[in-house]
Amino acid sequence: MKKKFDPRKYDIKINTFFDENFGEMRFHGLVTELKTIYVEESTANKAFNRVIEEIEIYKDHCEKHHLDFPAPLQDQEFSGELRVRLGKELHKKVATDASQHGLSINKYIVEKLSA
Q: What's this model's pTM, rounded to 2 decimal places?
A: 0.70
In this prediction, residues 62-78 reach a mean pLDDT of 93
Alpha carbons 82 and 109: distance in angstroms, whole number: 11
Is the pLDDT score of 2 beyond 70? no
Strands (E), the chain: 12-19, 24-31, 38-41
Cα Rg, the chain, nearest whole Å: 21
Kindly tell me if the per-residue pLDDT of 21 is higher than 90: no
* Contacts of residue 13, Cβ cutoff 8 Å, sequence gap at least 6: 29, 30, 31, 32
- Decide if pLDDT at 30 tops 70: yes
Question: For 34-65, how does the pLDDT look when each residue is reduced to its tens digit (9 = 90+)?
Answer: 999 999 999 999 999 999 999 999 999 999 99
Task: Judge whether residue 1 has pLDDT over 70.
Answer: no
